[in-house]
Structures are given as C-alpha cells and as structure tokens.
Amino acid sequence: MFPELNNLLNTTPDRAEQGVNLTMARERGQLVFLEGLKSAVDIFFQAQEKPHPLQFLREANAGNLKPLFEFVREALKPVDSGEAGWTYPVLLVDDLSVLLSLGLGAVAVLDFIHYCRATVCWELKGNVVVLVHDSGDVEDEENDILLNGLSHQSHLILRAEGLATGFCRDVHGQLRILWRRPSQSTSQRDQSLTYQYKIQDRSVSFFAKGMSPAVL
C-alpha cells in the first residue's frame, strides 16, 4: 500500500520499476508489504501467536478472509497516536486470482474487495488496484464471476492481451482501456481506448494501433 504514490513516481533510483523504488518506500514507511509466498510457508511451519492474514490456508473450509482484511485496515492506521493517517492511500493486490487457486470462492474474494474498497476508497479517499488473470478459452466459472464482479465495481479497467493475429516481433500485444465516469451523462459515461505495446529491457513502449516505430 502506498500512502503517497505521486511523490514516489518522481524518484528514479536504482532497482526502480517505472520510477517507483519499492525498497526505499518500505524503508521510509511509505509501503506496507505482505509477501504472500513467504507468509504461506510460515503458516504451516511456524507457530502463530496471533491471527495471521493468511489464516484461511489452515482452515478446513477456506473462505474467511477477515484476518487479511484486518491486516489491510491495521496497516492504514498511524504508527503513533500523534501521527496523521495516510493521505489518499493505494492498495495494490497482485494478484487476486491466486486466492481462487488456493480454494477460495469468488463470492468470498469479492466480499473481501468490497470491504477493502469501503475502507480505502470511501473512508480514506484512496484507490484500490487489483490484478486478475483471465482464463481465456478455458472455462472457469469462479474466475468469470470474479472478473465480472470486479468489472462492475471498477472505474478504470486496463486489459492487456495478445494480438489476435499472433506473434509479432515489433508489437507484443495491446492494452484496452475502459474509463467509467458515473457522474457524466449516459452518452459520455464510458470512454474506451486501445493502444499497442512493445516490452523493452527496462520499460514498455505504447503507441496507437498501426503506429509502431517499425512500421513508420
């Protein structure tokens, strides 16, 4: 979770991704990070003195994400009673589809996101950014429910996908952007854009369809 993402985007230190140095942000107390893989191992091999965010992994009927939500809510509280709370925090979830793979149902995952949005977006005026994988041609009812549920809740949807024509050396895929503005009139509420992209060594290049530098 980033309390001040705009300030972080202006930094360009080593080992930064798109201008955001996660290590430095964590050292400054600007980032609270839950390492899912390591935490999952700890759940099974280490005694827990208090409820763990991933406690559901040890439960017979997986579905209780309350400890994970409590972790999110506690992370947003000031460390000291005299400190001001985070301003416009950002909750990043990478990636939500993993919860389905761990045995959770789509409804339980959507409930978790609903409570996170209530806290982060409505109470603290922040944002929730979620990554979800599309199962593509494979039928996956739970994943479809999750995708549709999140799509209805989202104001901005970024969908990265491959080219319908197959592999291309100069264009690796396309990014479809759907921006929903509920406050606008029906005719102007949804705005859709499509860009193509190419993945570089340390960056990604975006351009309009048919405007690849290789073509021009």
Q: Are residues 47 and 84 in the same domain?
A: yes
| Distance of alpha carbon 76 from the chain centroid | 17
Residue 179 has pLDDT above 80, yes or no: yes
Residue 68 has pLDDT above 50, yes or no: yes
Closest by Cα among 135, 127, 210, 128 to 170: 210
Q: Note the residue count of the chain.
A: 216
- Strands 127-130 and 90-93 come out as parallel
For residue 168, being part of any structural domain is answered with yes
**What is the DSSP secondary structure assignment for residue 120, as one 8-state letter?**
I
**What is the DSSP secondary structure assignment for residue 118, as one 8-state letter?**
I
Question: What tokens were used for 20?
Answer: 């955001």
Banded model confidence at residue 85, pLDDT cuts 50, 70, 90: low
Domain of 141?
22-154
What is the per-residue pLDDT across 40-63, written as a single tens digit (0 to 9) for each? 777 777 776 677 888 888 776 667
Give the whole-number percent of the chain exceeding pLDDT 70.
77
For the chain, what is the domain count?
2
17-21, 134-138, 148-152, 183-187: range with highest mean pLDDT: 148-152
Q: Are residues 129 and 39 in the same domain?
A: yes
- Identify the pLDDT of residue 1: 47
Q: Are residues 60 and 117 in the same domain?
A: yes
Question: What tokens were used for 55?
Answer: 């406690």
- Identify the pLDDT of residue 82: 54
Is the pTM higher than 0.85?
no
For residue 14, being part of any structural domain is answered with no
Distance CA 19, CA 159 (A): 22
Q: Are residues 162 and 144 in the same domain?
A: no
- Identify the pLDDT of residue 214: 63
Mean pLDDT computed over 77-106: 78
Q: Are residues 69 and 160 in the same domain?
A: no
For residue 12, being part of any structural domain is answered with no
